Structure 1
Amino acid sequence: MDKTAIKNFAIWARNKLKNEIKVRAGFMGITESGIATPLPASTSDIQYFDVASSEPVKLQGREIEMRRRVVSKLEQHAKESGYQTAYDSLIENMASEWFNRLIAIRYMEVNDYFSDGLRMLSSVQAGKQDPDIVSRPFDSDLEFTDAEKIQINDWMDHNKADNLFRFLLLKRCNQLAESLPGLFEVAGDASEFFLRLGFVEKDGFVYKLVHDIDEEDWKDQVQIIGWMYQYYNSEFKDQTFYELKKTKSKVKKEQIAPVTQLFTPDWIVRYMVENSLGRIWLDGHPDKI
């Protein structure tokens, strides 16, 4: 296992995801400086926000409800800890959620855990750019409405592979929520709005996830998820300890998990089990020694 490659990717990925999520939050009128009020032209069906671009950003349909839920949670958190802390936690949590989901999907596809056998982020065919599910969406076990089937065909006819990829990724995440509800979310969750991934750009999360870490490191190596998590939080942990030492302050509630949760390698787990439960069992079964 190339831990250097894993560490480099995980540290890069945290900053990449946070930056992209900040941009997406800005499209909802949520920035470090505060929560924007919809522009006067907004209605109950369409909301407009000035994001300092040539044209206002438009939210409609379920995006408005997503924003309402996000803003409600953000405002509640801000009452308890201040807006800056609440905003930072929102960005950090959304980045962490998507990081964990995507590395789980990568692990599952490499180890052929999907019942339809279609990879979500890559292809079993060497050198092929499009993920297998993007090339063959109707061979998947995902369920589509008639309207969705029409939209999928339209994206395929007009070579809009990234649009199709994002749609299928959310579909897969919603499907996985049935078996892994603590990691994935059902359709309509606000986290859907916070990330717009593609698979083509070489500086993108998906491309680097697939290409920067050797595929062999994912095979029968569930430890890779633990190392990913630890390295993902390494910069945050180091910065937190530096600030604590500098200011002589205490760890905040939102800092506890990333600074205390460390991955335990399998050899340490085996040592602990063999010398605790294993020893107790042997003491109770001397004839087995």
Structure 2
Amino acid sequence: MNTSKLQAFATDARRQLMNAVRARLDAALVPNSDAQVDDPRAFDFLQREIERAGGSEQGRKHVVERYAYRWFNRIIAFRYMDVHGFTGTPVVSPVGLTSTNGLPEVLAAAKRGEYDSRVFSLRVNDKAKERIEGLLSGSILADDPQGRAYGLLLQSECRFWNRNLPFMFENVGKEAGRVDELLMPADLLAEGSVLRNAVEVMTPEDCGVDDPSGNVEIIGWLYQYYISERKNEVMDGFKKNHKAGANEIPAATQLFTPDWIVRYLVQNTVGRLWMQSHPDSQLHKNWDYYIWPSENDSVGNEDILAIRTPEDLTVCDPACGSGHMLTYAFDLLYEIYEEEGYAPSDIPSLILKHNLYGMEIDERAASLAAFALTMKARSRSRRFFKKQVEPNIQRIAPITFKEDDVAELNDLYQVNLDSMVWNTYAKADVYGSLIQPPQELVELAASAQKNADDIGTLFDPLLREHAEEVFAQTRYLACKYAAVVANPPYMGAKNMSGELKQFVQDHYEDGKADLFAVFIMRNRQFLRHNAMLGMITMQSWMFLSSFEALRRDILQKCTITTMAHLGTRAFGSIGGEVVSTTAFVLLNSFVSHYLGTFIQLVNGESEKEKERMLRTAALQESGNQNE
């Protein structure tokens, strides 16, 4: 995979899309514009979004950034699905999938009078076909009839795919979905457009067309590169003593995890848990980074989390980004289900329903994580979309209620919770999955789920919808999992906003010096007893005095089963001596006699060399145990 080409494409796409969305926004804001006349409710929603983001130019920039990214996600999603044949008629790709000069096949087919009956049988697309035909025949006059026709085709496809991918394609029954259409970039067919460049750069080979489960890793790389310029802006701001608030945190803290590190962590958490309960399994022979415990380090039955069936292996990434940890966990879990004799057509749905859970502060990354998992599932099962199963990816979003809302909510759910409890997620765009929901909210979320049919219908439906969002977030944050795997956000206290710094000081005193350490503490709270935590973090928690209390707590209450001390240069994509890291696995109980396996990789001069050294060390450990 040519990551340098992906980087050039993604950074150029961001500039192009932001300019194009800005042009559409400016046109919509002109007094008596077509947007205001044709869909006043969507226009009002757009204006409110601008005001919520600070109004004036600040609010407009926020809206441009948000909707440009949403269209980037859609274009790369369609390209990936085109390549794998999931779209039926390619939506952004030509018929041969590789020519950058050919028209998208959905447009070429329309010019031949051919339309996908699945797409245009939807009521929301009733009028679109007639307008497309009019534009292409010349009976409807327009400056760019072919471009306008393609825009309508693209909108129609987005509406259709809302059924299977609602996290990527908003329902146009809601104002947000119609704003997506209102701000859709123009000139997508032009030479050098984002659409044509996607066809060139996202090759069938790089999308994993020859791999049974595809290559969704490309989605993660595109996400990292798309936000790279924004990340540079935020980092430059830090040098000027600017602080990271809600608008800066996603860009400042995202870092795509190399595949070999992901495999090491998942194999030694999810894989280890399965092997402990199923010692006759032969799957470990396929795991290149699995560290087989020595006889002296074998835990007793009282220290094993019993995993009787594959469904018991719940896996969570509380800051999942574009979902790399979870997509590899999908592959490993698929092997487990397969070895246990489950029907291959059932396995993808079972994994998404029972096993994988992700939380994310950034709506764009959450959408990509859900998309990546869905593509994994569809690659393994042709009939997956018919099952209507969505990934368990939860954006932790800010939700606020006024005093009048609180009174109505208490009446609706027959409780007496104060405003502070109902507003637990008021600052969720800053605190994310670090929020620990109060017990009374946890209990209400559980009871509301059981008694959903008994809740009154006479109350404000939007208020009830927001309450359901609160309950959904609470259920994720209150749950305990068999395994947690994560590459958490890295951010020193000096770069945190005042409210974030105060929050971590109040709730995570021992880790307050850096967000990664805060997440070590929070992730342990997500674990069941004898569950396993796998993380890659900065190495500083092992040495600095500011983390002494954190180290002591880990060593007294947990057991380090394996650690790969990576040092610098483990992340080739960011180069050089930027971060010094360590990858480790904790058992969530203390086993006094357990020594663990520690692998020193700091002398590796490159990511590739460190990967080779880790693979060799794991092979040696496996060989020693088999002698």
Shorter chain as denominator, the TM-score bin is 0.7 to 0.9
How many angstroms apart in 1 are the aligned matches of 2:281 and 2:134? 67
Partner of 1:245: 239
In structure 1, what is the equivalent of residue 119 of structure 2? 142
Question: Aligned AA for 1:26?
Answer: D
2:91 corresponds to 1:120: yes
Distance 1:176 1:198 in 2: 22
For residues 229-244 of structure 1, the aligned pairs below 5 Å read: 229-244=223-238
**Whole-Å separation in 1 of the counterparts to 2:215 and 2:80:** 9
Query: Is the contact between residue 7 and residue 231 of structure 1 (CA under 8 Å) also seen in structure 2?
Result: yes
Aligned residues: CA RMSD = 2.3
> 1:18-167 residue pairs with structure 2 within 5 A?
18-29=18-29, 38=31, 47-48=32-33, 58-59=34-35, 61-78=37-54, 83-114=56-87, 117-125=88-96, 127=99, 129-137=102-110, 138-140=114-116, 141-143=118-120, 147-158=127-138, 160-167=145-152
**Residue type of the partner of 1:237?**
K
C-alpha distance in 2, partners of 1:274/1:283?
A: 12
Question: Is 2:244 the counterpart of 1:255?
Answer: no
Corresponding position of 2:394: none
Of 259, 265, 275, the match for 2:258: 265
Deviates more, 1:3-12 or 1:273-282: 273-282
For 1:19-75, what per-residue CA distance to the aligned partner results, in whole angstroms no more than 9, with x for missing partners?
A: 11111111122xxxxxx6x3xxxxxxxx14xxxxxxxxx445434332211101211
Residue 424 of structure 2: aligned partner:
none
Are the structure 2 counterparts of residues 285 and 13 from structure 1 closer, same or farther at C-alpha, using a change threshold of 3 Å?
same
Whole-angstrom distance in 2 between the partners of 1:256 and 1:236: 11
* Distance in 2 of aligned mates of 1:262 and 1:75: 31
1:208 maps to what in 2? 197
Q: 1:195 aligns with which of 175, 184, 196?
A: 184
What is aligned with 2:273?
280
Rounded Cα–Cα distance in structure 1 between residues aligned with 2:162 and 2:127: 23
Specify the SS of the correspondent of 1:251: coil
Q: Which amino acid aligns with 1:195?
A: M
Q: Residue by residue, what CA displacement relative to the aligned partner does 1:169-205 show, whole Å, maximum 9, x if unpaired?
A: 0011111111111111122521111123344311211
Distance 1:199 1:84 in 2: 26
Q: Provide the rounded CA distance (Å) in 1 between the counterparts of 2:258 and 2:130.
A: 48
Report if the CA contact (8 A) 2:128-2:152 is conserved: no
Instruction: Identify if the C-alpha distance between structure 1 residues 8 and 280 changes in structure 2 by more than 3 Å, giving closer, same or farther.
Output: same
- Aligned residue type for 1:22: R
Unmatched tracts of structure 2, length 5 or more: 139-143, 283-627
AA in 2 matched with 1:197: A
Alpha-carbon distance, 1:160 to partner:
2.8
The residue type equivalent to 1:155 in the other structure is: L
Q: Structure 1's 278 and 149: CA in aligned 2 closer, same or farther, altered over 3 A?
A: closer
Corresponding residue for 1:41?
none
Whether contact under 8 Å (1:9, 1:209) holds in the other structure is yes
Confirm or deny: 8 A CA contact 1:94 1:191 kept in the other structure.
Answer: yes
1:177 maps to 162
Indicate if the aligned counterparts of 1:121 and 1:199 stay in contact, CA closer than 8 A. no
Residues 132-170 of structure 1: per-residue CA shift (max 9 Å, x gap): 111224331212566444322222223932111100100
Tell me what 2:463 maps to: none
Q: In the TM superposition, what whole-angstrom CA distance separates every residue of 1:107-156 from its partner, at most 9, and x where no partner exists? A: 01111112xx2001122236562211112243312125664443222222
Residue correspondences, number: 259
The residue type equivalent to 2:136 in the other structure is: M
**Greater share of helix:** 1
Q: Secondary structure at the match of 1:87?
A: helix
TM-superposed CA distance for 1:288, in Å, is 4.6
Normalised by the length of structure 2, the TM-score is: 0.39
Separation of aligned partners in 2, 1:84 and 1:147: 35
For residues 178 and 149 of structure 1, the distance between their equivalents in structure 2, rounded to whole angstroms, comes to 19
**Alignment partner of 1:66: what SS?**
helix
1:188-244 deviation line (CA, Å, top 9, x unaligned): 521111123344311211111112443321232211111000000111112201211
From the superposition, tell whether residues 24 and 275 of structure 1 become closer, same or farther in structure 2 (CA, over 3 Å).
same
- Gaps in structure 1 of 5+ consecutive residues: 30-35, 39-46, 49-57
Distance 1:254 1:171 in 2: 32
Q: 2:220 aligns with which of 215, 220, 226?
A: 226
- Give distance in 1, aligned partners of 2:41 and 2:70: 20
The aligned amino acid for 1:251 is: A
Matching residue's letter, 2:198 = L
CA distance in 1, matches of 2:131, 2:11: 36
CA distance in 2, matches of 1:280, 1:213: 36
Percent identical among aligned pairs is 31
Write the distance in 1 (CA, Å) between the matches of 2:147 and 2:280. 63
Identify which range, 185-194 or 124-133, moves more after superposition.
Answer: 124-133
Using the alignment, how far apart are the partners of 1:244 and 1:208 within structure 2? 33
2:514 is matched with none
**8 Å CA contact 1:197, 1:206 repeated in 2:** no
* Alpha-carbon distance change, 66 to 147 in structure 1, aligned in 2, over 3 angstroms: closer
